[in-house]
Amino acid sequence: MAHPSVPVVPALKDELDIVIPTIRNLDFLEQWRPFFQPYHLIIVQDGDPTKTIRVPDGFDYELYNRNDVNRILGPKASCISFKDSACRCFGFLISKKKYIFTIDDDCFVAKDPSGKDINALAQHINNLLTPSTPFFFNTLYDPYRDGADFVRGYPFSMREGAPTAISHGLWLNIPDYDAPTQLVKPRERNTRYVDAVMTIPKGTLFPMCGMNLGFNRELIGPAMYFGLMGDGQPIGRYDDMWAGWCAKVICDHLGLGVKTGLPYIWHSKASNPFVNLKKEYKGIYWQEDIIPFFQSVSLPRECTTVQKCYVELSKLVAEKLGHVDPYFQKLSDAMVTWIEAWDELNTPSQAASETKTSPVNTK
Amino acid sequence: MAHPSVPVVPALKDELDIVIPTIRNLDFLEQWRPFFQPYHLIIVQDGDPTKTIRVPDGFDYELYNRNDVNRILGPKASCISFKDSACRCFGFLISKKKYIFTIDDDCFVAKDPSGKDINALAQHINNLLTPSTPFFFNTLYDPYRDGADFVRGYPFSMREGAPTAISHGLWLNIPDYDAPTQLVKPRERNTRYVDAVMTIPKGTLFPMCGMNLGFNRELIGPAMYFGLMGDGQPIGRYDDMWAGWCAKVICDHLGLGVKTGLPYIWHSKASNPFVNLKKEYKGIYWQEDIIPFFQSVSLPRECTTVQKCYVELSKLVAEKLGHVDPYFQKLSDAMVTWIEAWDELNTPSQAASETKTSPVNTK
């Protein structure tokens, strides 16, 4: 039975999955219940498969642990990270829906300046259903929003915009800082509610955080691979960054838009900066090579699908970043495996083999 | 005597001029008195030189009318527009200060969400004195602002930022719309206070509005030419746009930053959309050629100063936009004249000839 405050027909109810990497906090789903209950949840458990995740009554969900990932993907399971929230991308792969919203279990419902609970999911849906403006900057931010428009001097031929592939939401309270900044500014909290949604211009990279993220799976899904992180890998906390760099370059190539700004969630607690530093430290210097690489990447005209772009990108990663560390050859291989797995689970014949992919725990 | 609410030593008091194109409204300076009185004003009268502009007591100002412009620039006065607010750039030329703030006389003091008067000038100064981040996008907006920083995944080598050349402020109440949008949305008002300052990324053009604008004259002054508009010219209302496109391309080439967002001013009244349509209509279709031109402009490495960049740009304007309309050849010539005038009035020997440039009305 729906929560009384939930509209009878929530937007995109049958077209959106919520993907959550592990739930360690029982309050998490209770707080989000009014907003999430109408939707289907995909929970991807990142650690020990023998541990049980408790999901409160009333939610429609499927839960995958490592054993499920191994069974469903077979040898291709090697591309899915273990003991790291990067495993969430398995949920993107297994989903059959057009839209994905993914959120971390330490993110709660934030309040807008008037004190009202923010329906983050509704804002993401709105961001994804309205166009982006990657080709020219609009100084009044999102021109499709109520009370705003394109300003004087904005070329009329560009006002149709581009389809929106990604909606990147922000965080009140604990900001998404790297370990060095966490260590230097242990008391900093984000209290500034910036009432804006904007398109990240074509040709500009951004740090994509996976805490509060929506995307159109049909438009950009195969690029939302969260890489090899966590157990057995030399880095962590770069899973969402990797996906963001790859996805942005591909969106730019294919003429798709990426938005950032609203909605805010309430990020409840900072992760341990010492643990984070250990996870991040290689990434911190590797990214000094990775960013110039992505800034200069140019995909050939023949790459007309996300899959083709992604496979091409995997080759360039091996070729141009291989000298940085052998890790990038391994990552390049995993990128190809990911696309093979994506195509296997997302072909027209997938429906026939759906039993094969059904998870252990379905309610 | 200073207004009681003005700090004794206002920021950059001796390094900033306020440039105003005509003052038709007596309330204008009275409203801004607490903020503007410590600064020097340069008023450039756009119309009939026989008309008198009344400046309230207590302001330190110089006023130039068309006769002054003609006398000071001689034949080079042809590059300064007549009967159009584009004439304001004469004030940029004649100033000897490092920073300029320019504002229209229908722009008043806005209030922030707490009801406090916004000191627009102080915010511009702050924007100009802190670096920009044109090379990578920071999702928490200005990382140099109190309570904000660079987010996880922002390359450390880029955190020094770039010198800020331009601070573009916004408008509450009447938004800066073109004539077609004014006609279609006569009742739209901008009521959304977006509490953000952000850098417009390298490689991205934006529509620069001259209503509420600060810049570092030493860094970008020679590119802030407002073109040929108004009396005797085929277009109007593209003066600030032209300056913005040229300046942005040059900032990108020279590694300088452009910020937009705060501060807001209160834009009191919409100009007549029918008159505006007549002024804009050629610009509306010309810009469909102009924008792709600026988006593809590449300045040669030898262009190491703003002047060299601007002269190079003037050649490209004639070469690549000449086919659109003969106006662009005229504009290209005026761009060169402007740089000649700039160099004449802004050379090391300028001090010796300062009597020559002193205006008719100085207080």
Digit-coded pLDDT (tens) for B188-202: 999 999 999 999 999
Residues 6 or more apart in contact with residue B35 via CB below 8 angstroms = B6, B109, B119, B120, B121, B122
Check pLDDT > 90 for residue B349: no
Task: Say which CATH number the domain at A271 has.
Answer: 3.90.550
Nearest CA in chain B to A114: B113
Q: Give the C-alpha separation, B219 to B312, whole Å.
A: 17
More reliable by pLDDT, B10 or A249? A249
**Closest CA–CA distance from residue A148 to any residue of chain B (Å):** 7
Q: Give the C-alpha separation, B35 to A231, whole Å.
A: 59
Q: What's the total number of domains in chain B?
A: 1
Domain-embedded: residue B27: yes
Domain-embedded: residue A275: yes
Summarize the confidence of residues A35-39 as an average pLDDT.
Answer: 97
Check pLDDT > 90 for residue A6: no
Q: Give the C-alpha separation, B251 to B278, whole Å.
A: 32
Least confident of A208-217, B24-33, B90-99: B24-33
Least confident of A7-16, A261-270, B79-88: A7-16
- Judged by CB atoms closer than 8 Å, whether chains meet at A137 and B207 is answered as yes
Domain-embedded: residue B232: yes
| Per-residue pLDDT at B352 | 45
Domain-embedded: residue A4: no
Query: Is there a contact between B234 and A113 (Cβ–Cβ < 8 Å)?
Result: no
- Judged by CB atoms closer than 8 Å, whether chains meet at B194 and A189 is answered as no
Domain-embedded: residue A115: yes
Closest CA to A56 of A117, A3, A109: A3
Other beta carbons within 10 angstroms of residue A219's beta carbon come to: 22
Amino acid letter for position A361: N
B6 phi, psi to nearest 5 deg: -85, 130
Closest CA to B260 of B149, B167, B192, B194: B167
**Closest CA–CA distance from residue B283 to any residue of chain A (Å):** 9
Check pLDDT > 70 for residue A357: no
Query: Is there a contact between B29 and B57 (Cβ–Cβ < 8 Å)?
Result: no
Closest CA to A79 of A306, A258, A344: A344
A226 phi, psi to nearest 5 deg: -95, 15
Summarize the confidence of residues A99-116 as an average pLDDT.
Answer: 97
Amino acid letter for position B91: G
Check pLDDT > 90 for residue B25: no
Summarize the confidence of residues A114-122 as an average pLDDT.
Answer: 97
Task: Region of B175 please: left (phi>0), alpha (psi -120 to 50) or beta.
Answer: beta
| Per-residue pLDDT at A348 | 64
Closest CA to B205 of A166, A205, A161, A139: A139
- Percent with pLDDT over 90 in chain A: 88
Query: Is there a contact between B132 and B161 (Cβ–Cβ < 8 Å)?
Result: yes
Q: pLDDT, tens digit, for every residue of B250-272?
A: 999 999 999 999 999 999 988 99
Does the interface ipTM go beyond 0.90?
yes
Domain-embedded: residue A276: yes
Structural tokens at position B57: 């007591």
Structural tokens at position A108: 């709660």
Of the pLDDT bands very low, low, confident and very high (cuts 50, 70, 90), residue A1 is very low
More reliable by pLDDT, A303 or B26? A303
Q: Best mutation site among A152, A239, A276, A298 for testing chain B: the one with the most B CBs within 10 Å? A: A152
Among the partner-chain residues B136, B178, B188, the one whose CB lies closest to the CB of A152 is: B178
Q: Looking at the complex, does the CB of residue B316 fall below 8 Å from at least one CB of chain A?
A: no
Closest CA to B39 of B125, B108, B129: B125
Q: Looking at the complex, does the CB of residue B146 fall below 8 Å from at least one CB of chain A?
A: no
Check pLDDT > 90 for residue B354: no
Q: Give the C-alpha separation, B171 to A96, whole Å.
A: 45
- Judged by CB atoms closer than 8 Å, whether chains meet at B288 and A208 is answered as no
Task: Give B 66-105 residues with CB within 8 A of chain A.
Answer: none
- Judged by CB atoms closer than 8 Å, whether chains meet at A175 and B260 is answered as no
Query: Is there a contact between A45 and A63 (Cβ–Cβ < 8 Å)?
Result: yes
Structural tokens at position B120: 């627009």
Q: Looking at the complex, does the CB of residue B259 fall below 8 Å from at least one CB of chain A?
A: no
Q: pLDDT, tens digit, for every residue of A130-186?
A: 999 999 999 999 999 999 999 999 999 999 999 999 999 999 999 999 999 999 999
Q: What is the mean pLDDT of chain B?
A: 93
Structural tokens at position B333: 């010539």
Other beta carbons within 10 angstroms of residue A269's beta carbon come to: 9
**Predicted structure pTM score:** 0.94
- Judged by CB atoms closer than 8 Å, whether chains meet at A149 and B238 is answered as no
Residue A113: list chain B partners with CB under 8 A. 113
Domain-embedded: residue A245: yes
Length of chain B: 363
- Judged by CB atoms closer than 8 Å, whether chains meet at B151 and A209 is answered as yes
Structural tokens at position B338: 């402007």
| Per-residue pLDDT at A320 | 98
| Per-residue pLDDT at A107 | 97
Whether the bond between B263 and the residue before it is cis, its omega within 30 degrees of 0, is yes
Full domain range(s) for residue B350? 16-357
| Per-residue pLDDT at B348 | 64
Q: Looking at the complex, does the CB of residue A196 fall below 8 Å from at least one CB of chain B?
A: yes
| Separation in Å, CA B63 to CA A232, B20, B67, B362 | 72, 9, 11, 7
Whether the bond between A263 and the residue before it is cis, its omega within 30 degrees of 0, is yes
